[in-house]
A and B are shown apart, each in its own frame.
Chain A
Amino acid sequence: MLNFLDIYERALQGPIMTEQDFDLKVFMPALKQVTKQYGIQYDKENPVPSNDADADNLFRAAVDFLSRCGIYCQNTNRVMQFTQAEILQAVNEATGRCFAGEGDDARVFGMRKPDDPKVPWLHVGSGIVCTTEEMFTNLVEGYGSIAEASSISICALDTLRGIPVMAGSPAEIYAAIRGIKIGREALRRAGRPGLPIMNLISTSASAVTTIAASAAQFGLRPTDGWLVGAISEMKIDFGAMNKIAYLLNWGANVGAETSPILGGYAGGPASTAVVSTAYILMGLLVHKGKYQLTFPIHFRYGCSSPRDVLWVVAASCQAASRNIPMPVIWLGYMAAGPCTKMYFYEAAAYLLTATTSGAPSVQTPHPAKAVKIDGITPMEARFGVAMGTAAAKLNRQQANELVRQLLAKYESQIETAPTGSRYQECFNATTGKPGDEYVRLYDEVTNELAQMGLEIGD
């Protein structure tokens, strides 16, 4: 197996080129060739396809593509190249298991297959920016209070004592440490001290802050999870590689974080599916990830709920879950915000797509494209858990039919989606309870989904 120093050596010795040449002369031609050669085609009528042979074909295309394209290192301007044999060796040697959490909440985050009745690993919450520590506490306590939650994401803070948290500044270090302390304290209040935090470190944009706030005395444990981002498309930098080097040196869980962009360099849905699958291979091979978080999004709409993105999710999730032993959290960005019906339609569509396609894990779909400050509540988290559980009872064909019905309800509204309410507008910031209006809306939506045949628990 290639170890991380071998990977780094390739970043020093691979072919040298400008980033633009990599994008235009390596990445795009290789992607076009592979997509055509393997006959990968988007099926607009079936956002949740169910052909296993197509899924396996997509996997082979992704292996071929990664071996032709490689990964570009922005700091050395070199391409890290890998042979198909090396990629497949990484796949063969992967365990498909991530040990996360402590005490009652210590669990093995493992694999699922398409149409698998096993309930996915339910990753709850988001790293959306939060303006007050009280709200932060309420949100995390709310996530921890969801009995089915397997792990959580905690919020990010954007100011500290009135000082704006600038990336790479000392204020970021203070804020990141503060965020972790609040997160752990809130989980203790929820009676879940062992629940793993798997979006570390949300308040940190820089490697130096991630590393600083990971010192054991601030409350993190190797059984939490650190997200290390790839750069779209098929790139990495020393910031990410420094985080990996540090985390691997003391045995912490590395989570490869990837976000293929439909409509960007990756092109349309067929080729984006190839890139999306290749990223899971990258997570194993380059990041040495114990788990992965991936969220394909649409270049124009900034969300994951359009029909073509759902197809990318379904296709690449099936390819990966059938062939790559990597526990992946599939995350969707929704166009609409909290306390809107549209959010729930989008979230239901996304969760049906990912869960029936074999997603090892699904995360709370992020409201309002995750850009609205204070724009999330525990109610969306609760819905995500209920919907992820309900979806595990269905197969891909059933999901496909339901997703088509849901798309009919929101597809035309994506461009003009309502951004919804902020936490303090639909929740009581003191008691941490939802407002009556939101409870009513939630009940209406779940009743509506029940009429479609989706039985969502309370």
Chain B
Amino acid sequence: MLTFLDVMERATAGPISTEEDFNLKVLVPNVRKIVKQFDIRYDAANPVTTDDALARRLFDAAVEFIAQTGLYCTGTNRIIRVERDEILRAAQEISGGGTFGEGKDRRTFQPRRPDDATPPWCHVGTGIVASSEEIAMAQVEGYGSIRQASSVSIPAFGRVRGMPVLGGSPLEIYASAASVQAARKALWKAGRPGLPILNLISSATTATAMIAATHPAFGLRASDGWLIDFIAEMKVNYETLNRLAFILITGGNVGSTCLPILGGYGGGAPGTALIMTAYHLLGMLLFQGSYQLTGPVHFKHSCSTTRDGLWIFSVVGRATSLRTRYPAIALGYGAAGPCTKMYFYEAAAVNLCAVSSGFAGVQTVHPAKAIITDGVTPLEAEFNVAMAYAATKVQATRANELVNQLLAKYETEIERAPEGKRYQECFDVATRKPSEEYVRLYEQVKEELRGMRLEIGD
């Protein structure tokens, strides 16, 4: 098995190249060549693919793509080379995901297969910025109150004592430590002190702040999960590698993370699916991850709920769940925001796609492209959990029909999707309860989905 120091050795001794040369002479030509060579084709009519042969070809294509492309380290301007055998051996040897949480909330994250009736790991919440500690705690308490929640994401703090939290500044350290402490307190209030936090550390944009706030004095445990990002596309930097080094040395759970850009260097849906599959393998091999957090983001629309984005979810979920036991959480970005019907249609589509395609976990689809401060509530989290469970009762073929029906409801609205409401506009901050208007809307949508023969619980 490759150790982290082996990776570092390759990052300091691999072939040297400018970043532009890597992009234009290695990455882009290899994507085009391999997509063609392995006949990876996008099928717009079927956003949820059921084609196992295509999924298997995509996996093989990703192995070939990694072997030919490598991973570019911007800290050394060198390419970290990876051999085919190393990838395949890692895929064979991995037995499952990490063990997370404490006490009654301690669980091992297990892989799933396409059309698997096992409920997925429900990762609840988002790292969307909260404007105050009070709102952050209200959100997290709400997440912790969802019985089926397997783990949570906690909000980022945008300000401390009225001062903006600048990346790399000392205030980021304060904000990161405070966000962790507030979340732990909220989970304790929800009666779920052992529930793991898997988006560490949402308030930290730098390795310095992430590592600082990991000090045990602030409440984190090795059974939580730290997100380590690839840089789009096929790159890492020292910030990434420093985080990784620290978490591996301290024995924490690494969550390898990637959000490949549909319409960026990967090109269209087939190339982006190729890169997303490659990230899955690299997360398992180079990052030694305990879980993968992944989802495509559309270059133009900044969301994952476009027809081609959903197809990428389904084909990558199928490819990686058929050929590895490295569990991945599907993360979708919705175009519409909280307290809108469109958000629920989008979230339902992502859950149907991901769950039926074998994703081991699903996260609350992030409302309004995750860019509105306070723009998420526990009701979206509750809906996603209910929808994920409902999706386990649906085979991929049926999911495909349902997703097509849902797309018909929102696809044309993506460009002008409503931003929806902020937490304090549709929830009572003091009582933590949703407004009557939001409850009414929520019930209407659920009835509408039940009318599509989706078994959504209360």
Contact = CB atoms under 8 A, between A and B. Distances in A.
A5 B160 contact: yes
Interface in B172-217: 172-174, 177, 206-209, 211-212, 214-217
Contacts of B428: none
Contact of B246 (A173, A238, A245): A173
Interface string A396-421: 00000000000000000000000000
B104 interface: no
B245 A163 contact: no
Given A242-B212, A250-B215, A4 B238 contact: no
A4 B177 CA distance: 15
Nearest to A9: B163
A171 B160 CA distance: 33
A208 B242 contact: yes
Interface residues of B, number: 36
A208 B215 contact: no
Interface in A235-258: 238, 241-242, 244-246, 249-250
A219 interface: no
Contacts of A8: 163, 169-171
B5 interface: yes
Contact of A217 (B169, B212, B250): B250
B441 interface: no
Contacts of A215: 211, 214-216, 246, 250
Contact of A212 (B173, B218, B242): B242
Interface string A160-202: 1101100011110110010000000000000000000000000
Contacts of B8: 163, 169-171
B9, B171, B216: residue with the most chain A Cβ atoms closer than 10 Å? B171
B12 interface: yes
A19 B136 CA distance: 39
Given A241-B169, A249-B174, A211 B208 contact: yes
Do most interface residues of chain A lie in helix, strand or loop, or is the interface mixed?
A: helix
B286 interface: no
B442 interface: no
A228 to B, nearest CB: 11
B245 A246 contact: no
A207 B245 contact: no
B210 to A, nearest CB: 9
Contacts of B208: 207-208, 211, 242
B245 A238 contact: no
A208 B207 contact: yes
Contact of B169 (A173, A177, A238): A238
A216 interface: yes
Contact of A169 (B171, B216, B217, B238): B238
B331 interface: no
Interface residues of A, number: 34
B238 A216 contact: no
B161 A168 contact: no
Contacts of B172: 242
A128 B367 CA distance: 53
Nearest to B239: A208
A28 interface: no
B249 A163 contact: no
Contact of B170 (A164, A170, A173, A245): A245
B457 interface: no
A91 interface: no
B29 interface: no
Contacts of A245: 170-171, 173-174, 212
B5 A161 contact: yes
B4 interface: yes
Interface in B239-254: 241-242, 244-246, 249-250
Given A161-B9, A164-B12, A211-B208, 9 more contacts: A4-B170, A8-B163, A169-B75, A173-B245, A208-B206, A215-B211, A242-B212, A249-B173, A249-B177
Interface of B: 4-5, 8-9, 12, 75, 160-161, 163, 168-174, 177, 206-209, 211-212, 214-218, 238, 241-242, 244-246, 249-250
Interface of A: 4-5, 8-9, 12, 75, 160-161, 163-164, 168-171, 173-174, 177, 207-209, 211-212, 214-217, 238, 241-242, 244-246, 249-250
